Every structure is written in structure tokens, then in C-alpha cells.
Amino acid sequence: MSWIDIGDINDIPLRGARKVKTAQGCIAVFRTGEAEVFATSNTCPHKQGPLNEGIVHDRKVTCPLHNWVFDLETGEAQGADEGRIMTYAARVEDGRVLIEAAKLGRQAA
Amino acid sequence: MKDLVIIGAGMAAGRLVEHASEQGDWNITLFNAEPRGTYDRIMLSPVLAGDKTYEQIVTHDAAFYEDKGVTCRFGERVTAIDRAAKTVTGDNGTVSYDKLVIATGSEPFMIPLPGHDLEGVIAYRDLEDTERMMGLGAGQKAVVIGGGLLGLEAAAGMHARGVDVTVVHLMGHLMERQLDEAAGYLLRKELIERGIKVLCSSNSKEILGENGRVKALVLDNGTELPCDLLCMAVGIRPSVALAKEAGLACGRGIHVDDQMITSDADVLSIGECVEHDGAVFGLVAPLYEQAKVAAKTLAGQEAGFVNKETATKLKVTGCDLFSAGDFAEGEDRDDIVYRDPARGVYKRLVLQGDRLIGAVMYGDTADGGWFHGLIKDKTDVTEMRDTLIFGPAFQGGAALDPMAAVAALPADAEICGCNGVCKGQIVEAIQGGATDLGAVQATTKASSSCGTCTGLVEQLLAHTLGDDFQMPTAKPVCGCTDLTHEDVRRLIKSQELKSQQAVWQELGWKTPNGCHVCRPAVNYYLLADWPVEYQDDPQSRFVNERKHANIQKDGTFSVVPRMWGGITTPNELRAIADAADKYKVPTVKVTGGQRIDLLGVRGEDLPSIWSDLNEAGMVSGHAYAKGLRTVKTCVGTDHCRFGTQDSTGLGIKLERKLWASWTSHKVKLAVSGCPRNCAEATCKDLGIICVDSGYEIGVGGAAGMDLKEIQPLTKVTTEDEAMEQVVAFVQLYRENAKYLDRPYKWIAKVGMDWVRERIADDAERARLVAAFELSQSIYQTDPWAELSQEQKARKFGPMADLTLEAAE
Ligand code: SRM
Ligand SMILES: Cc1cc2nc3c(=O)[nH]c(=O)nc-3n(C[C@H](O)[C@H](O)[C@H](O)COP(=O)(O)OP(=O)(O)OC[C@H]3O[C@@H](n4cnc5c(N)ncnc54)[C@H](O)[C@@H]3O)c2cc1C
Ligand code: SF4
Ligand code: FES
């Protein structure tokens, strides 16, 4: 798998997220632990809420607009709500955040 | 006989000599920069703590080596390797080799802070460092930079010698590489209880000296920590300088293949100085394996080093903790969390599919070995998943006790704050025959005033009486806990819980860090009760409060500058108009709160529009906050023919006093100049109607989802008195109300009489005012000014923009 370096882990607040612009639309990169990250589509399937602005708890995020909760590992909406967000492989290496290049439709730099 | 030269006589080299002298016919020369042979570096901590002596930790001394025919050149540093001539040069001369092994270990990393080269600034790596620390005695001061395994060992060791030790750690919790936050919290708590000072999230700025000797460490925030010795334990770097100069291939460490051979076929390397398949090493087990492989390679036998999935078991002097496997990274994982606040126990298992892949434990590590085994053997744990966390002995699967948190309270924990009643008194009363809430109220007075401790008293009844008590169904905060909001508030106060981790652990939370329902509430309770000790956590706030702007349905934001008491100036209006033009604001609206709203601002533009408005003297209006919103006023005596007092002036004063305060829900005020009430004060959280003889103050109004008229609180004659009453009311509300209860809802629970009584009490009112002012001294700052600083402003934009590169 090839990876794209998108920045320093400390640019994402612990239990927070940042947005990354891509040709395919915005991705949200979540930091759930000191060195644990997840990447998903930034757009809530309900009414397009920006997920990078949600509250991050455990390995989940709550959409800021109407509180749908998504599992960051599977992308599935939790509880009674139905929907799914796209997930991307992401990892931390030497303090850098890497996300998978393949699904973004481009080669790693 | 062939010549074998070994550089470094550390733990890896010691093992190598043992194997090599058995397996081959070598003429060995052993260099060591340290003026001694090999000792068990791991045991330096017991030596430091005084539990062992140096003699007890020696593994291979000069006599041992000489017995094996090894020429020892101890206290001699190798300064050059000449690979063409196949020689090694030390301080005392050159020697030639047929095969060379580099085993130089690592070097401690020293942060290049100003003053790092002062006398008394040391690392923690060898016997010399240890002896320096042992040289300190009771009453002397030491600072340790680094809250990892090594730093804490150094701190614990020196503390055991009576030294006054402070640990300064950059990250938010101790040992962040081995422990998660919850276990890190417990470790910190234990160290602090022992008397070691621990500062997390603290960055060092410079080291101060006097006559060339260390005197103090200065932190980023200006704090000065005086010390006689400063120990830096912030990490190690493979010792590669010598190999690099000799032209050997190096990455982070010296590159070796599976046979431990470097890029030169006659040069091998083992220990912490190597890099194998991308990995570098910091624990001794794999290094012993490398020594074994290297000996075989030298003897011409087949052998290959495999870096096994290492699970690490840790022991920080006197604290029981265990961490194994991968608990921090990976995908598709589930957590199982168990907390027992009474015993200070925390366990977390990390599962991936049907396997256990990681475990962190604190306080009770008895099952560590068993979990470690499950991890190593990749056992399928599907069958025992429900009871896994209880360990190998447990098969029943009983549910956790929802009463655990209350059961864990000490007898002197205060349950009822109004009447100063402790747990012990209540339990005594129950045992004495008070078997329902009414009887407890009658005998102890607990829960007979504001009533917010009712839930706790009921839990004590249930806990003390067992099945004899029928628990009324109180609504817990959310799925993460069985406690109600009121219970959580009381326990935060009475148990002096001052961090989120303290709440999760001591109150037995069922999730690692709450959810979007409980975390904002807990964050608020902590900062309301401990404004000085607790640090507000933006990540526990809803987007509007984190962004200091209201999010709109299309993801843009609104910007509402403060207009004190509804008064503005031509200059402010011009600045607002300019900002609206510059940032292409689609809608400019006058709000129902007597000020102007700029709607539709892009998230990226927030810091710059704020900075523009700041320049014109305006600050955030907190139109997004669970805090003071607006103070509406009418024109009062300034212009109105009916005005009895300066309602505009009082409104402005109140807004200046209360702005930027955080409260349980939003708080809106109004001051009307006469009973005609043009400022609509009678439907505000707090409304003042001015009359000829003074000020009538009412509270608990609302005009949102419920329509409520204010109820009279008091009537006073001067502005100063009015201010004091208002501040006391807001603070009482802040200290007691459930998160997201507007004042009218809270008053309905505790009763207007109770509110009046508390505020009428002179001593209590003075306390409330002082508490409010203390909190404002910290929180009354303009978030716009802070967040528009360049560093922070950057975070409002995207972290990366991959569209730019893709377009090329
Ligand atoms: C801007 C404003 C409407 C306006 O254009 O006038 C407004 C806008 C919103 N109000 Fe309001 N309220 C505004 C005055 C009011 C008033 C009138 C007043 O303050 O005199 C009320 C009734 C009085 C009261 O609060 O009792 C009012 C009662 C509410 C409520 C119901 C509160 C309740 O406890 O029942 C909500 C919902 C909530 O807070 O949970 C709400 C929530 C909201 C939110 C924040 C909804 C949201 O969460 O997104 C709206 C934000 C819109 C946006 O995108 O910016 N707004 N809102 C007013 C801003 C006043 C200001 O300058 O700060
Ligand atoms: C206080 C402390 C506690 C520890 N606790 C644990 C633990 O609990 N568990 C665990 O697994 N590990 C622990 N470790 C780590 C463990 O000690 C190391 O992994 C191990 O010692 C590394 O062995 P090594 O042979 O690679 O290097 P070292 O043991 O460091 O030996 C390298 C030797 O080479 C010498 N040298 C370097 N350059 C030259 C040169 N140019 N010429 C001559 N000589 C040179 C050095 O002076 C040194 O003596 C601890 C370490 C410390 C300091
Ligand atoms: S009344 Fe409703 S729609 Fe109008 S601003 Fe208030 S919350 Fe929004
Ligand atoms: S847009 Fe995400 S929950 Fe409605």
C-alpha cells in the first residue's frame, strides 16, 4: 500500500480532527489517542454535516449538526440511524500522519 | 587464531563473548568507554533506590573476561575504524581485526535547551549518572525531565533517598508510549500521593545556572523550578557516529541483515546501536537473541535473527502496572474496560476480530501473564469474550456493580453540601433504622435543602440495605455511567475530582473517555468547580463553543460581536460594515439580543474577521456559549421621560462584569428603566426593573420553548447592591445546576426559597461573589483575540490540500 504524508500528528488535537482537501472531496482525519488516527469522508450522510467539527469519543465521532454517531473503524452509523461514511487507512509513523493513497486516486509523493 | 575486536562491553557484548568463546577459536579484544566491564544496566534503578549495590549487578567483570582469554581495554574509547586496513584505533593505540563487532549501544538524547551543558545536568544511562543521583540527600531538590519509564525510575529512586523531586513531562499523561491515559492518570496519582511532584503537558524552556552549576529549570509558562541536579530522561538514540564515519550504511541505527552483518561483510553489529528491518531496540530481550545469532555467524553457522512481536511487562518502582501488545494503534478494534475505583484498579483489553492484541492494567496485574499468553498465542477469545476481563479464574459473567462508585466513597466524603452531611453519618442513620429517603432527611438533614444529592442518598440506602430498598428510577447522564447529573456534580465536589481522567476512573465510567452527551457536561462541571486547577478542554465542547461561532446548516458560521448593553458607535458600525464587505458576508441581521449578526462566514475566514473586529475594539459576543449572552437594556434616565434609574449604564456594567463566563446553560439578562419594561426583563433568566426607590431583581424567566415570568429574588436600593446580588445568583446557578438546565428549570428543582435563602445569607453571598471573581480572573478573556493569533489561526484551515498537487 502506498501512503501520503499529510502532516505532523500534533497538528491534530487529541480527541479532535482536521480536514484534508482532496480531489475526491474533503476527508476528516481524527486523532483518537496519542498516536492513533482514523480517516473518513468528512461529509455526514444525513445532511452533509462537517464531521471534522464533531466531538470525538473512544473511536467514534458525533456529527455536529444532529448528533448522528459514526464508528471510525467501520464507518457505520451507530444506534437507530442508518448510513455509512467512507473510511481510509491511516497510521502514524515517527510522528507523521499517513493516509492511504490508493482510494484517493493518486500515487504517493 | 583469528582476531575478533568488539567495541562496547555492554549487555549485548557480554552475551556475545559468552557464546563466542564457546563456539570459536578467537583472539578477542574488548573495548569499553566505561572504565569497567559488563553490568546489568536494568538494575541501576534498584542501585539508585538503595535496594542493591553495584557489586550485586555486575555480570561479567575483568576477571571473567581474562579467564576467557579476552584482552580488556576498559576505560578506552574507540575513536576510528579503518575498514581498508582492518584496524580499530582507541585512545591508547591501534589493533587489527579479522572480524569486528560494533556493540556501542545508545546515547541518551539531551534536549539542547539553553544551559544544557551546565554542571549538574545529567542523563540516566550508566553508573556515573546513577552515582551522581545517589550523591543527593534529604532536603535537596532534583528535577527530572521526561515522564517515561527511565525518568520515573530516576524520580522514584531519588525520592526514596529523601530528595524533593519534580517530574516535568511534555505529554498529557505519563509513560504515553506504554500506558493509555487512564492508567497514566492512576500512576500519576500514586506518585503524587507518595510525594513526587508531577507536571504533565509542561514544556521546558531553559536551564538557569550559577557559577557554572545548574540552579533551576524554567518552563514555557514562566514557572521556575529550583534544583541541585537536573536529570534528562527523554529518550535514546542509537550510537552510530563511529560506524557512520567508517562509511557503514546507517539509518536510525547501523543497518544489519538477519545474520547481524553490516554493509561490510567483516563487520557485525548488535545491540541498541543497530537497525534491523526498520526496527530499532530499547529492551534487552531481543538484544540477547542478536548476540546468539552473531556468535553463530562468526562461527560460520546458519542462524537468522527474527524480531518477535515483543510484549513488554513493566514495573515502575513500587507501582503495579502492566502493558502488553498493541493497545494504541491498529484498526477494527474493540475495547473492554473495567474500573474499580475502590481498589484503584483499571484494566483495558484491546480486541481485534476474535483475538486479543493488547492489554493495559493498573493496580491489579495478576492476570497480566495470562493476557500476555493470549496475545502471543493469538488465541481465539470469542467464547470467553464476555468474561475475558475478569481473568482466567472467572467464569460466571456477573454484571459490574452500578453502586460501585458510591460504595467506594470514604466515610468522610461529603454527600449533602447544603447541610454538611458525610457518608458516614448517613450510613449510620440508615443502620439505625432510617430506611427511606424521608427518614434519612429527618434524622440527618441530608437532601433536605436543595435536593441535588437525593440520588446519592438513595444509592447509599440501596447499598446499605441491599434488596430491602426499592431504588426509584433516576435518569443517568448517559450510557457511559449509572450516575445522574446531580450525583456526578456532588461527587466532583466532595471527592475533589479535578480532571476528566479522575472522573472516569473514580466514578467508574464504562467508556474510555465518555461520549458527546457526558463529556461536555463533565468538562463544564470540572471547570465550574475547579477553575484554577482544571484546564478547559475544547475537544469536549460542541462545535459552536470550540469554534467560538455558531455553525450554520451549510457548514458556514455566524459572527456576533459584543455590543455592551446594546450600545454601539459609528466606528463600530463602520468596522462591521467593512468586515461584511471584505469577507463577502451574505446576511447582516439585527438579532433579538440587541446586536448585529454576520451570518454565513467561512470557517477559514473566522480568525481574520475576528482580528479585524478586534482592531476596532470589539470582542466576541459569545452568541454560541453556555454562558452570558446579552444584557438587553432600554434607554432609561438618559433619554426617556419615564426612566427612574440609569438602566443602560447598569446593563453595560453587568455585561462587563459577566461576559465570557461559562454557565450551565445560556444566561440572558435585561434591565428596564421602569415598569413599562421596554427591555422585556420579565422573561429573562435574570431581569431587573428599576423603580424610584431602587432595583427589583427577578430570576427564572424564559421566552423560548417555555414561557416563564421571573420570580422576585430581592429588592435593593443601590447599583452596587444590585451588581452583588446578580453575581451571587449567577455563581449559585453555575455551582449547582445540571448541565443544560436553564435557571428556571433548576429553580423548579431546588425551590425559589432555597435560592433566596442562600443569596440572602451575607457570608454565603460574599463567598459566591469571591468564587465568581476568581473564575473570571481566569476565564474572562476574549477568545477571538486568542484564536486569531497566527499559530492557532492555522488550525481553522485544512490540514493539507491534496487537490493542489493532484492538479499538476
Ligand atoms: C441570532 C438569534 C435570532 C435572531 O436573529 O435574532 C438566535 C439564533 C439562534 N438561537 Fe435563539 N437566537 C436569538 C435570540 C433568542 C431569544 C430572544 C432573546 O434572547 O431575547 C430567545 C428566547 C429567549 C430565551 O432564551 O429564553 C431564543 C431562544 C432560543 C432557544 C430556546 C432556549 C430555551 O431554553 O428554551 C434555543 C435553543 C437552545 O438554546 O437550546 C435557541 C438557539 C438558537 C440557535 C443558536 C440555534 C442553534 O443552535 O444553531 C440559533 C443560531 C442561529 C445561527 O445560526 O446563528 N434560541 N433565542 C438571536 C441571537 C441573540 C443574540 O444577540 O445573542
Ligand atoms: C536505568 C535503565 C533501566 C533499564 N531498564 C530496562 C528494563 O527494565 N528492561 C529492559 O529490557 N531494558 C531496560 N533498559 C535498557 C537496557 O539496559 C538496554 O537495552 C541494554 O543495556 C542495551 O545493551 P547494549 O549492549 O546494546 O548497550 P549498552 O549496555 O549501553 O552497552 C554499550 C557500551 O558501549 C560502550 N561504548 C559506546 N561507544 C563506545 C566507543 N566508541 N568505544 C568504546 N566503548 C563504547 C558504552 O560505554 C557502553 O558501556 C534499561 C536501561 C537503563 C539505562
Ligand atoms: S427561532 Fe428557531 S429558526 Fe429562528 S433563529 Fe431561533 S432557533 Fe433559529
Ligand atoms: S448532518 Fe450529520 S447528523 Fe445531521
Q: Name all domains of chain B by residue range, CATH numbers in brackets.
A: 2-107+238-298 (3.50.50.60), 121-234 (3.50.50.60), 401-469 (1.10.10.1100), 485-540 (no CATH), 631-781 (3.30.413.10)
d(CA B458, CA B469): 9
Q: Is residue B218 over pLDDT 90?
A: yes
Band of residue B473 on the pLDDT scale cut at 50, 70, 90: low
pLDDT of residue B286: 86
CA distance B232 to B116: 9
How far apart CA B620 and CA B613 sit, in angstroms, is: 9
Q: Could you report the per-residue pLDDT of A2-22, keeping only the tens digit for each? A: 899 999 999 999 999 999 999
**HSE of B135, CA atoms in CB hemisphere, 13 A:** 11
Atom 6 of ligand 1, residue of closest alpha carbon? B591
At B308, is the secondary structure helix, strand, or coil?
Answer: coil
Q: What is the CA radius of gyration of chain A?
A: 13
What cell was used for A61?
A: 465521532
CB B679, CB B635: distance < 8 Å: no
Q: What cell was used for A35?
A: 498516536
Strands (E), B326-480: 333-340, 345-352, 355-362, 414-416, 421-422
**Percentage of the residues of chain B whose pLDDT score is greater than 90:** 65
Q: For the ranges B549-553, B631-635, B719-723, B739-743, which has the lowest average pLDDT? A: B549-553
Nearest CA to ligand 2 atom 7: B42
Locus of grid cell 420570580: B711
Q: How far apart are CA B653 and CA B572, in angstroms?
A: 19
Q: Above 70 in pLDDT, residue B314?
A: no
| Pair B142, B227: CB distance under 8 Å | yes
Residue linked to cell 553489529: B269
Position B485 scores a pLDDT of: 94
B172 to chain A: which residues are within 8 Å by CB?
A: 14, 34
Check: CB of residue B310 under 8 Å from CB of residue B483.
no
pLDDT tens for B691-740 read 999 999 999 999 988 899 999 999 999 999 999 999 999 999 999 999 99
**pLDDT above 80: residue B18:** yes
Instruction: Please determine, for residue B787, whether its predicted confidence score (pLDDT) is greater than 50.
Output: yes
φ, ψ dihedrals at B772, nearest 5°:
-65, -45
Query: Do B542 and A66 contact (CB within 8 A), yes or no?
Result: no
Q: CA angle B518-B730-B446, nearest 5°?
A: 70
Describe chain A by its helix, strand, coil percentages, rounded to 5: 10, 50, 45
Range scoring the smallest mean pLDDT among B377-391, B548-562, B605-619, B634-648: B377-391
pLDDT of residue B390: 80
Distance in angstroms (rounded) separating the CA atoms of residues B482 and B504: 12
pLDDT digits (tens, 9 = 90+) for B81-95: 999 999 999 999 999
Neighbours of B692 (CB within 10 A): 7
Residue pair B316/B178 in contact (Cβ under 8 Å)? The answer is no
pLDDT in tens, A75-102: 999 987 889 999 999 999 888 999 998 8
Instruction: Determine contact, residues B708/B752, Cβ cutoff 8 Å.
Output: no
pLDDT at B183 over 50: yes
**Mean pLDDT over each residue of chain B, to the nearest integer:** 90
Q: How confident is the model at residue B475 (pLDDT cuts 50, 70, 90)?
A: confident
Task: Average the pLDDT over each of B79-83, B149-153, B366-370, B396-400 and give the range with the smallest value.
Answer: B396-400
Return the minimum-mean-pLDDT range out of B164-173, B433-442, B748-757, B765-774. Answer: B433-442
Comparing C-alpha atoms, which of B658, B628, B659, B662 is closest to residue B542?
B662
Residue B329 confidence class, pLDDT cut points 50, 70, 90: very low
Task: Categorise residue B620: left if φ over 0, alpha if ψ from -120 to 50, beta otherwise.
Answer: beta
pTM recorded for the entire structure: 0.70
| Residues of B whose CB is below 8 A from A11 | 795, 799
Cell numbers linked to A65: 449538526
Percent of chain B scoring above 70 in pLDDT: 95
Stated as kind and residue range, the H or E segment containing B655 is: helix B647-658
pLDDT of res. B420:
77
Q: How many Å lie between the alpha carbon of A35 and the closest alpha carbon of chain B?
A: 7
- List residues forming the annotated binding site of B for siroheme: 678
DSSP-assigned letter for residue A76:
B
Nearest bound ligand to CA B559?
Answer: 1
For residues B666 and B622, the answer to whether their CB atoms sit within 8 Å is no
Q: How far apart are CA B293 and CA B308, in angstroms?
A: 14
Residue B436 has pLDDT above 90, yes or no: no
**CATH code of the domain containing A17:** 2.102.10.10
**Ligand 4 in reach of A56 Cβ (< 6 A):** no
pLDDT at residue B801 is higher than 80: yes
| Ranges A51-65, B298-312, B702-716: which has the least confidence | B298-312
Comparing alpha-carbon positions, the chain A residue that sits nearest to B172 is: A34
Q: Answer whether A14 sits within 8 Å of B333, measured CB to CB.
A: no
Q: How many CB atoms lie within 10 A of CB B682?
A: 17
Closest CA to B351 of B384, B398, B399: B384
Q: d(Cα B224, Cα B206) in Å, to the nearest integer?
A: 10
B793 phi and psi, to 5 degrees?
A: -60, -35
Q: Residue B402 — pLDDT band, cuts 50, 70, 90?
A: low
- A89 vs chain B: nearest CA distance in angstroms? 8
User: pLDDT confidence of B395, banded at 50, 70, 90?
Assistant: very low
Confidence of residue B397 (pLDDT cuts 50, 70, 90): very low
Q: How many CA atoms lie within 13 A of B631 on its CB side?
A: 26
> How confident is residue A106, by pLDDT bands cut at 50, 70 and 90?
low
The stretch B9-14 carries a mean pLDDT of: 95
Which residue's alpha carbon is at the smallest distance from atom 4 of ligand 4?
Answer: A66
Instruction: Report the side by side order of strands in the sheet with B596-601.
Output: B550-551, B557-559, B596-601, B587-590
Q: What is the mean pLDDT of residues B654-676?
A: 97
B171 in Cβ contact with A14 (< 8 Å): no
The Cα of A84 is separated from the nearest Cα of chain B by a number of Å equal to 15
Residue B625 to residues B179, B194, B349: CA-CA distances in angstroms? 35, 40, 38
pLDDT of residue B73: 96
In angstroms, the CA A84 to CA A74 distance is 8
Specify the DSSP class assigned to residue B182.
H
On the question of pLDDT at B806 being above 60, the answer is: no
- Residue found under cell 549487555: B11
CB B519 less than 6 A from any atom of ligand 1: no
Residues with Cβ within 8 Å of residue B272, at least 6 apart in sequence: B12, B105, B106, B236, B238, B239, B253, B280, B281, B282, B287
pLDDT for B310 equals 58
Percent of chain A residues topping a pLDDT of 90: 72
Supply the range of the domain harboring residue A85.
Answer: 3-106
For residues B611-620, give the mean pLDDT.
95
- Distance between CA atoms of B778 and B150, rounded to whole angstroms? 35
Distance CA B410, CA B412 (A): 5
pLDDT of residue B427 exceeding 80, the answer is yes
Tell me, rounded to whole angstroms, the distance of Cα B434 from its chain centroid: 42
The number of angstroms, rounded, from the C-alpha of B133 to the middle of its chain's C-alpha atoms is: 29
Distances (CA, A) of B445 to B438, B454, B738: 10, 11, 22
- For residue B117, give the amino acid letter: D
Q: Which three cell numbers stand for residue A3?
A: 501512503
The grid cell for A20 is 484534508
Rounded CA-CA distance B624/B520 in Å is 14
Q: Which residues of B touch A (CB under 8 A)?
A: 171-172, 176-177, 180, 328-329, 331-333, 335, 511-516, 519-520, 538-543, 546-547, 551, 553, 555, 795, 798-803, 805-807
User: Per the structure, how many domains does chain A have?
Assistant: 1
For residue B532, count other CB atoms closer than 10 A to its CB: 11
B270: helix, strand or coil = coil
Lowest mean pLDDT among A14-28, A35-49, B181-195, B377-391: B377-391
Atom of ligand 4 nearest to the CA of A51: 2
For an interface test with B, the pick among A6, A36, A47, A55 (most B C-beta atoms closer than 10 Å) comes out as: A55
pLDDT of residue B327: 66
The predicted structure's pLDDT at residue B460: 87
Q: Which three cell numbers stand for residue B549?
A: 461561532
Q: What are A61-70's contacts with CB under 8 Å, separation 24+?
A: A61/A17, A61/A28, A61/A30, A62/B515, A62/B516, A64/B542, A64/B543, A64/B551, A65/B551, A65/B553, A67/B516, A68/A44, A69/B515, A69/B516, A70/A40, A70/A44
**For B329-338, B354-363, B448-457, which range has the lowest pLDDT when averaged over its residues?**
B329-338
Provide the grid cell at B59.
555480570
Give the pLDDT score at B328: 53
Cα separation values, B660 from B4, B85, B354, B735, Å: 73, 74, 50, 16
